[in-house]
Each structure stands twice: as structure tokens, then as C-alpha cells.
Chains A and B, each alone.
Chain A
Amino acid sequence: MLSLLKKKNDATQPQFAAWHPNFRNYERLPDVKTVRTAFFANTVAVAVALSAVLWVAYQEYTCSLVRGDIAIARAELSRDKGPSDQAVAVFKKFQADEKKVREMSAFVASKPSVSAMYITLGSTLVEQVSLTHIEIAPTQIGLRGVVHGSSDVASSIASTYIDALKADASISQLCSGVTQVNATRNPQTGWLNIELALRFKGGK
């Protein structure tokens, strides 16, 4: 830094061989520069120092703004905390009551409606078929019935009834299929005794 402030006398001396003796004494000659180097050095130094001061001032200003925001946020926090805690307590009570309602609802919905099943089974009956035993078990519906008809048409009537069961939307929604378990002819009446099983989907 100090070397910058020194007068650079060597630079002013000619770089080529003098063709006549040079009697100028550079040390004693006056400085003819309009603006001195020291001025630029001072300006740069002051600018850098001012930058540092401004940076610190800006930092402090930002800090004070943030502290102001913190004070506002704290005030909001203390204002809302009480009512919020109350709301949370009420919500916990609500959740407890909601669980009770859900439990009731899930209890009833856990099994298919038996009345609806009986109505469906009644509505799917075809002519000349009567049911003698309906058993709704946890995994399947068992049907026992009689096909009233001559031996030559009884089998086709039974097949028609099975098709009607399979075609029913609510049965196909609940059950995975209709299985014929047994079919025996009653030698006294000549009617066909049938036994069917409708297995619930997922073993409901």
C-alpha cells in the first residue's frame, strides 16, 4: 500500500539512450499530477470502510425487523393458544364419540342383511320349484327344495332355477357362485329333491 503512495520517479525517466546529457533532478522537480494517487487510495479505503459500516447497519436493521415480527407472532400465539387448546380438547371428545358411532355402524355392516337375502331368494324362485329349507351360514347359503314336475322336465327346471340365481345381481354381488350339491328323485312322488350351495365371497 505504501509503495503505491510513493512517487514513481523511475517511470518518468526516458527508456532510451539519451542523445544529450540529462541534467534534470527529478527529486526536486514539482509534482505536476492533477489528482494525486493518495486521493484514489483514500477514496477506495473510505468506500470499503463505508461498505462494512452499511453492511453491519443493514444486518442490524434486518435483525430489528425480525424481532418486531417475532413480537407480533408471539402476541398472536398467546392470543390463540387458549381457544386452540379448548378446540383440541373438544375435538378429542368428538373423536371419541365418532369412534362409538363408527363401532355401531361397523357392527351392523359386518354381516349382510338376512331379510334382504330371504326376499331375494323368494323373488328368484321359478315356477314349479319350492324351497323347503334355507340355511344362511357364515360362509354360505344352503338351499334345499323340490322341483315339482315330471321326470323329463325336472332337470331342466332345476337348471333354469340355478341360472336364475346366478343371474340375480344381488346374489352375484354377495356370492361367488351357485353349486349343485345334491339332486335325488323322490320315488313316491316322482319329484326331484335338490340341494344347492351359494358360497359367500371372501367367506362372509
Chain B
Amino acid sequence: MAISNEKVLEAVKKNKVVSVSIACVIVFGLAAMIRWSAVEDAQSELDAISTEAARYANNLRNASQLTADQALLAKRTSEIEARMLKVGALMENQQFFFDLEKNTGVKLVELRPGSEILPAARKGFYAALPYSLTVTGTYPQLLTIIRRLENGQQFVRVLSSKLYPAPLEASARGDAGSILVLTMDLEVLARP
């Protein structure tokens, strides 16, 4: 039961309001469908930009004191590095131990440097200089030198140590029986 074009045209002419309304619905319905993705795209673009803007704003908020903190930290780090032992500076590095000997009153019997552990091997910024140290002195003197090593200006860790009475000939030079021998294997942190 086909409807001829004439009948359709006649019906359109007879019902103009309904026909125009149907045309409007079709046109605007299509427009709504096409523009729907545009709205969604704009919304997702806004979300992405807002997220990034929030990240920047957060960075700025968190960095309010950062410049001053970084400057202070860099200053302190360079101060610490300036007083560290240096890889390869054998004589200068030994002077550190000679100064300790002088300031604590112990007798430095032996100072043997080991082979340096470079930063790449330690997976860090600094090298480690191993030393074997033998000193003699009274118990308070030896305790003082250990404390100065551990809490002094250098970063030192004592790997092992032995403390025992000095042989009789050494003791004979000081108070008999009060002289002790301290041997230590230690590592000192050094700048490359």
C-alpha cells in the first residue's frame, strides 16, 4: 500500500504545523547528536587542562620555601665536602691522622691506607678510603681518639677494632701496665 508523493504533499499542505515540527525535530535531533561529542570533547579537554593546572599550582604551593631550603642545603653540603678527605691526596689525608695523634696524645704506630672504593663501586656520590690504624696510649686517650674519629669533622666508620695491653717494652716507656694498643680497620668518606 504505497503512498504516492502527491498524497504526501497534500498531507503536508494540509498539516503545515505538524510537518514543520517534524522537520524541526529531525534537524535539531541530528544537530544534538552531532554536537553531543563536541560537548564531551570540550569537557574532557577541560578536565585534562584543569588537572595540569592543579599540578602546577600544587608545585608552586609546595615550593614556597624550596629555593631558600635548597640554597641552605647546597651551602651546607659544599661546606661538608670542603673539609672531606680527597681521593688521591695521600699526604693531605694522612695529615688528618697526624693531627689526631697530636691532639689526643696517642702514639701512632702504624697507618696503612687501603685501596680506595670509588663512588661507582659504592653506587653513591663519594668514595670510601680504608685505613688500618694502630695507636698506643692510655685508655682515656684511646677512647678520645675513637670519639674524635666517630664524631669529628670526617665521616668515619670503624669496621673492626682490637684493644689489648701493650707489650712490656712499650709499657716501660709510660706508666707500667697502663699503656694499651688499639688497632682499627676503618673507612673514611672522601670526595672524588
Residue pair B24, A93 in contact (C-beta under 8 Å) = no
**Is there a chain A Cβ closer than 8 Å to B25's Cβ?**
yes
Residue pair A110, B157 in contact (C-beta under 8 Å) = yes
Q: For the complex, give the distance between the alpha carbons of A77 and B184 in Å.
A: 60
Q: Which residues of chain B come closer than 8 Å to A52, judged between CB atoms?
A: 24-25, 28-29, 32
Q: In the complex where A42-B17, A115-B143 touch, is A80 in contact with B53 (Cβ < 8 A)? A: yes
**Is there a chain A Cβ closer than 8 Å to B82's Cβ?**
no
Q: Which residues of chain A come closer than 8 Å to B128, judged between CB atoms?
A: 107
Other-chain residue from A74, A97, A99, A111 in contact with B157 (beta carbon distance below 8 A): A111
Other-chain residue from B14, B50, B143 in contact with A118 (beta carbon distance below 8 A): B143
In the complex, the number of residue pairs spanning A and B with C-beta atoms less than 8 Å apart equals 171
**Is there a chain A Cβ closer than 8 Å to B172's Cβ?**
no
Closest to A42 in B: B17
Q: Which residues of chain B come closer than 8 Å to A41, judged between CB atoms?
A: 15, 18
**Is there a chain B Cβ closer than 8 Å to A38's Cβ?**
yes
| Residues of A1-48 contacting chain B, CB below 8 A | 1-2, 5, 38, 41-42, 45-46, 48
Binds B, one of A61-69, A159-167, A187-195: A61-69
Q: For the complex, give the distance between the alpha carbons of A169 and B53 in Å.
A: 54
Residue pair A38, B143 in contact (C-beta under 8 Å) = no
Interface string of B139-162 (1 = CB under 8 A from A): 000010011001000011111111
**Is there a chain A Cβ closer than 8 Å to B163's Cβ?**
yes
| Residues of A57-91 contacting chain B, CB below 8 A | 59-60, 62-63, 66-67, 69-70, 73-74, 76-77, 80-81, 83-84, 87-88, 90-91
**Is there a chain A Cβ closer than 8 Å to B38's Cβ?**
yes
**Is there a chain A Cβ closer than 8 Å to B176's Cβ?**
no
**Is there a chain A Cβ closer than 8 Å to B70's Cβ?**
yes
| Interface residue tally on A, bucketed by range | 35 or more
**Is there a chain A Cβ closer than 8 Å to B60's Cβ?**
yes
Residue pair B165, A132 in contact (C-beta under 8 Å) = yes
| Residues of B34-90 contacting chain A, CB below 8 A | 35-36, 38-39, 42-43, 45-46, 49-50, 52-53, 55-57, 59-60, 62-63, 66-67, 69-70, 73-74, 76-77, 80-81
Q: In the complex where A42-B18, A107-B157, A111-B158 touch, is A84 in contact with B150 (Cβ < 8 A)? A: no
Q: For the complex, give the distance between the alpha carbons of A134 and B184 in Å.
A: 12
Closest to A108 in B: B155
Q: For the complex, give the distance between the alpha carbons of A67 and B158 in Å.
A: 66
Closest Cβ of chain B to A45, distance in Å, is 4
Closest to B35 in A: A59
Closest Cβ of chain A to B178, distance in Å, is 13
A-B contact pairs, 12 of them (CB 8 A): A48-B25, A53-B28, A55-B32, A62-B39, A73-B53, A80-B59, A87-B63, A90-B63, A132-B164, A133-B163, A134-B163, A138-B160
Top 3 closest pairs, chain A to chain B, by CB: A45-B21, A87-B63, A52-B28
